[in-house]
Each structure stands twice: as structure tokens, then as C-alpha cells.
Structure 1
């Protein structure tokens, strides 16, 4: 049986725009594939994954399952290895070439969030930043940190409610050759060329904390996009950029992975695919 089923997993998941994005892409490509939205908890992840049949081609994975997906991957791309987070799984039922070193039945894990952040910032004219502040210490923060490195950052500040939560990010920064420091909400903040907020959508910080970040941060890229403006964006002094662009560009990379087994080579009609996905996302 030809594998034609895909889905986005997360908890919660009702807000996800992935079905619209991917549906538009496969319609443009002439592929009769389905893309579902499925609520899966952390505890249930391994069992549900093991129960999938050969009709399943791949999964997009969102909060809080990215670390679970990393552990479930038998092969991972470089960005996934660096971050310890996977948001895209290509399953054994997918008839795609396998990377060197991957078994024919291996579950392939990719992190497309990093590339999504880099491409979204490029759309906004931001192609480099020497110093970056990351707000938050979860899996998406790890992707933001790797994206900062790809933008040429030499220094990264990590703002976390609990300093111990930032230790994995400090380790990633060390491996990337970045100088790093952990800052507390409400504490003194050094100036930064760019701030990337990786807090969940709907997070409300105390106004004093948000204002301190805004005063020190340069442009804000907030991975959240609903509701918009986020609380932090509403307090921002400089430009505040929502996460729609990240959502779009990381999904384009997922389409590459699901159709070709790689995120590196553009699709033959990628400009048309991206345009269809953008229209579906923005409702125009």
C-alpha cells in the first residue's frame, strides 16, 4: 500500500495551522495525501507511534513532543543532533531515499525549526546579528540558539525563569563556539542586536519584565503568532515580528523531507508551493 497519510502531533493541537499549510502544498504538487491534526500526550507518544501502519508517511511534531521525537529517531540531521529536538519524522512507510548510514526501515528525524527561523528573519531583512537574546529555555529555544549561530552570532544571552533549565542551552552554545550567559527575568540585561522569544503563545510576562527586555533587545522575533500581538510584542520598542514566517518556512522544509527524504534540495516547483502555503496561512 502506498503511504499517503501524514499528521501533526502535539498537546494541545487544535490551534495548529499545519493541516492548511500541508494541504495547500500537496494540492499544488498534485499529491492525494491526507494531513491530520492529532492530539498526542508525552506519555502516549511511544505507544501511538509504534501502532502506526505502513500507510503513514511522516509526522510533524510540536510542543511538547520534540524531545520524544528526537529519541524515537534512528537517524537525525545535524540541526536535530545539535538541538536535541526533532519536529519532523519521516517514517519507514515513506518511499524516499535514505541518508547514508540510515537503515531502510529507519525513522528519520529532522529539525526544520532552525531553518524556519533563519528564513523568516531573512524575509525581514535580518541576515546577521552579533549578539542575540533568547527568551525561554525549552526545545524551541534550542532551535533559536542554533539559528542565532547561523546568523553569525558570537554571544547569546538566555533568559529563563529557572536557571537550571538553561543548562542544556549553555552546553549547545559552548559546542557552537558562542559566549553565553544566563539572565533572570527582572534582572539586569545587556544590550542585544536581536531578541528571539520562544515562549508559548499566550504567555503574559509582568509588564516590568517585558519592558526591560524591550529596552535592551533590538528587533523582536516572537515564534508565537496567535494571539498577535503577543504580550511581549505589545510592549516592544523596536520592530516586533510574529512567527508566521517561521511556521511557513519550516513547513516548506517539512514538505521537502516528506516528499524527498531530505531538507536540502528545493522542490521542483517550490516557489509555487510556497506561494500556495503562504496564501493558506494568511487566508488570502
Structure 2
């Protein structure tokens, strides 16, 4: 059986079938492995020592929102959400370098950029005869969706449209006066909303607020000025004037 999906897998170290306690002829072992790789339903991929995707099954490519042929030959980093990219690459790099701290495998929280599917990535090194890591087998176990992730932002869950605009302005670096002019609020009104967001996200300042929102995948990637994903904002128009779950008149709001 020939499977072009896994063409590069033959570069991995061959496994002696005699080591297995199973009645599988040696010439059929590769076919069994290829079938398991593709049909297991588990997200799997093989990365080379430069962390490029050499092989990927349909389960993992679907979780990335792409076709297998679109992923092969590209840096694995391209598919990771910016909020986790640096940490995942650092951990995989340590594994490639043979860090003893990683032992035989590592597990790290991961989120894919295109789909915002998050979960646990487990990576296993594949060594050559000299003990040098020549490839990495990765397994992805999905956990929560982007909606689940956003729901834990705070007790109110998704942001009201007005709070979302304030957060976008904070992420863009708008000072209070400019943001007040954009949103037709007073300076006190902006400070009220910013203070509420700081408490909701449990962060000490505006910089940390923007960073945490980005790390949680709330912002659309590659967009400037920053824009929140639609799934992060309440859809009900009545929510625009609510903060903390109750209807109220915001302090310092301007009349048009």
C-alpha cells in the first residue's frame, strides 16, 4: 500500500518487527504503521530537526483548518497562535537539542491560529543510530474551543460592544483623551471602562490588559488597528450599555 500523505516518513529510523510481540510480517509493518498514522483519529505529525512539517495526518490538519498538502514543508510555527508560539517553539527546540530536562517527551499547551482550537501537544524525539534527534513526532489532543477560552475571561464572559471598543483602543495604544473622542465618552467614562476591564481580566495595567487579551486569542491576527474576534463580543445590542451585568448610566457619558 502506497500512501503519498506520509511519503517522507521513510526517513525515520526503521523499527525491527522482531521486537514486536505480534504476528505481523516485516514487509507489512510499514503499511500497518501508515494506516495507523492516518486512521487513528489522533492528530499526528512528523517534524524534521528544523521543525518543518514532513508528514501530517488528516486529523491534525483539520484541527489546523488546512489540508495536509498545504502544511507539508512549512514551519510548524506558522500554524501556532502567536500567544503560544514562542513557548511551544522553545520547548520543541530543547527537545531537538536533546535537553535532558525533556527526558523522552514533553507536553505543552497549544492553540492553532486559524481555528483557535487549543489543547495539549505531546512531542516525542526520534533519534538516529548516533543518538542525534533527527525528527519529532507530535501528537495533539484537543481540549477547549475558542469559545470555552473566552468564557473564562471573567464573570461576564463575552464583552459588551462598548467594552470591546475600549479594549481595542487600549491595544492600539490610544490615550484616554483620544479614545474618549472616538467613543463619545468623557475621560471619566473611559477610565471607568478601563478599570472594569482591568478587574475582569485580573491585570494591573493597560499593557498587561492588551497582552492578556492577545494571549487568549481574542484579537484577530494580522489586523491593525486591533480588532476583536466576533466570538469575543456579545451579540445582543442591549449589552452595549451594560457593565458588570447591570443596566446603568456610565459616569461622565456625553450627550449627543
Q: Shorter-normalised TM-score: what interval?
A: under 0.3
Structure with more relative contact order (C-alpha pairs < 8 Å, separation 6 or more): 1
TM-score (normalizing by structure 1): 0.22
More helix by percentage = 2
